[in-house]
Chain A
C-alpha cells in the first residue's frame, strides 16, 4: 500500500486545515514543561496577539455598526438595496454550494478509495483555486465571457439576452471557483481514514451502487460533508474580490452583501456600511460555532467503535480516525 501522499493534512491557502481527522495523544501531567514565568509570558504574548489582531476588529465592527444608534442600524439592514443584496447572496450560495457538494463527494470518492495515475496531480489541481488571487479568479471569467472575451461575442450572437459577466451567472461562476476545493478537501481525509470496509460489505450483501452510497457512505461521511458545506457556504457568502470583478456593481441587481458594504463605505456612509458588515460578522461567528459543534459531534460519534477492528491497546479511541498509512 503506497502512502496516501498529498491528501491529508493542511489545505492550501484559503481554508482551515481539516480538524476532523486528528491524532492527538494526551500529554501526561509529568511531562517536562517550562518555568512558570516563561509559561505566563508566552500565554500573555499569545493572548495579546490574538486580542489585538482578532478581538479588536470584531469589537470595532460592532461598535461602528451601533455608533449612530439602533434606528440607523435597523434602517441600514432593512434598506431595499440591502435586502436585494442579501437575497442575491443567498441565491448565489444556494446555487454554488450544492454544485461544489456534488463535486466534492465525487472527487473524494475517486481519490480516497482508488489509486490511479495522476492522483497526486489531481489533488494539486483541486487546490489551485485556493492559491490563486481572488482578483484573478474573477478575471478569468471576464476573459472567457466578457464582451471582448473568448466566448463572449459568440454567446451574444446566439443568445442576445444572456448576460454572464455583470450578471448572476458570472457571480455564481466566480463563487464556484473560489469555493471549489472546500468540500473535497474536507472529505478526502475523512474517507481515507474511514476506509471502505462497510461499503464492500454492503456490496457483498447485494446492495446496488446507489443503495450502498445512500445507506452506507452518506451516513458515514455526514459530519465531514456538513463541515465542508459550512466552510464552503461561509466563503461563498463572504467572497469579495472575485465577485467584485465579475459583478457590475449594479445596485439591486448584481450587488452581493460584501459589495454592498463596500459601496456604502465608499459613499462615506460608515454606520450603514458597518451595520451591513455586522451581518457578515454574524455569519462568521455562526459558522465558527457550527464548525465547533460538528468537530465535537464527529469526535463523539466516530470515536465510538462500531466494528471489532483490532485496536492498539495504547491508542486513545480517537486514534481510530488516524489513517493507518500514517502509523509508524
Chain B
C-alpha cells in the first residue's frame, strides 16, 4: 500500500481549503442561520410554535406515513433486490433500470403522475372507486407517493451485499441439514439485515422531508392531510417566519438524528459485508 501522506501527494491544502470554504458558504452558514433565527424566538415561543395543534397533527401525519412507506419498501425492496440478484428472467436489465426511476424523475412529475393514476377517473383510481375506496387527498395517498419516492433505497442498499454474499455460506448450511427456509431466514437475512435497515432509514429520511411528490395528492387540509414541509411552506407564504423557523428546526433535528443513525447502520453494514 502506497504511503498516503501530505508528503507524497500535492494539493491537500488547496483541496481541503476549497472544500471547507464551499461547504461553509453553501451548507453550514445557511443552516446556521436557521438555528440562529430560532434562538431569536426564545424557548417559550419556540415551544408554543413547534407544538401547536396543527404542528403536532402534521408531525404525526408526516412521520406516520413516512414510517409506513419505508416499512413497505423494506419488505418489497428486499424482495426486488433478491429477485434481481438471485434469479434470471426475461427483461431483467430493464427491470433493474426501472428501480432508479424514482431517483431520476423530478418530484413534481411523480406527484402529478401518481395523483392522476389514483384520481377517481384514473387508471388505478377508477378500479378502487368501484370498490368504494378513495386514496387521493387522504393519508393513504401520501403513503403511496412516499412508497414511490423511497422505492430505490432498500433495493440499492441490499443488492450489492446480496451479490457479495458467498454461496459457500448457504451451501454449508444446506449440507449441515438446514432446509432452504432455515438457510434463508437464519443465514442470508441476518447477513443483509444491516443493509436493509440502512435502506429503510434512508427511505424514512427522504419520506419525512419529501414535498414535491406529496403536495399534489395530499389535499393539504390542515389537521388531516397537511404534511410538515407543506405547513412550513404555508407559514413562509404568510411571512410567518417565526412559525416556519420553529417547525424547520424540529425537522432539522430529526434529520440530523436520522443521518447519525444511518452512518452507524452503514458502519455496521460494512463490517458485516467485510465479515461475510
Contact = CB atoms under 8 A, between A and B. Distances in A.
Interface of A: 1, 3, 5-6, 8-10, 12-17, 19, 22-25, 27-28, 31-35, 39, 42-43, 45-47, 49-50, 52-61, 64, 99, 102-103, 106-107, 109-111, 113-116, 122, 124-136, 139-144, 148-150, 173, 176-177, 180, 195-197, 199-200, 203, 209, 212-213, 231, 234, 237-241, 244-245, 258-259, 261-262, 265, 270, 273-274, 277, 280-281, 283-285, 287-288, 291-292, 324, 326-328
Contacts of A258: 106-109, 212
Nearest to B19: A107
A207 B102 CA distance: 44
Interface string B137-172: 000000010011001110011001001101100110
Main secondary structure of the interface of B (DSSP, over half): helix
A128 B27 contact: yes
Contacts of A237: 106
Nearest to B164: A23
Given A57-B117, A57-B148, A133-B255, A240 B122 contact: no
Nearest to A237: B106
Nearest to B103: A16
Contact of A60 (B10, B12, B116): B116
Given A22-B160, A57-B113, A64-B116, A126 B11 contact: no
Nearest to A50: B98
B18 A106 contact: yes
Contact of B106 (A45, A122, A239): A239
Interface stretch (B42-50, B52-60, B257-265): B257-265
A132 B28 CA distance: 12
Contacts of A144: 29-30, 33
A134 B109 contact: no
A61 B15 contact: no
B4 A277 contact: no
A187 B227 CA distance: 35
A24 B166 CA distance: 10
Main secondary structure of the interface of A (DSSP, over half): helix
Interface in B59-116: 76, 79-80, 82-84, 86-87, 89, 95, 97-110, 112-114, 116
16 contacts: A23-B160, A25-B164, A31-B170, A31-B171, A46-B76, A47-B95, A110-B19, A126-B23, A131-B209, A131-B259, A136-B34, A144-B30, A148-B241, A245-B233, A284-B109, A324-B1
A58 B263 contact: no
A244 B116 CA distance: 21
A13 B108 contact: no
Interface of B: 1-2, 4-6, 8-12, 14-16, 18-20, 22-23, 26-31, 33-34, 36-37, 76, 79-80, 82-84, 86-87, 89, 95, 97-110, 112-114, 116-117, 122-124, 144, 147-148, 151-153, 156-157, 160, 163-164, 166-167, 170-171, 174, 180, 183-184, 195, 198-199, 202-203, 205-206, 208-212, 216, 228-230, 232-233, 236, 239, 241, 244-245, 248, 251-252, 255-256, 258-260, 262-263, 266-267, 269-270, 273-275
Given A6-B267, A10-B156, A237-B106, A140 B34 contact: yes
Contacts of B33: 140, 143-144, 149-150
Contacts of B19: 103, 106-107, 110-111, 122
Given A143-B245, A195-B2, A277-B109, A39 B10 contact: no
Contacts of B195: 10
A13 B11 contact: no
Nearest to A105: B15
B116 to A, nearest CB: 5
A110 B12 contact: yes
Given A50-B99, A277-B109, 16 more contacts: A13-B153, A45-B79, A46-B84, A49-B76, A49-B79, A54-B151, A61-B112, A106-B15, A124-B260, A134-B209, A180-B26, A200-B9, A245-B236, A270-B116, A277-B112, A328-B275
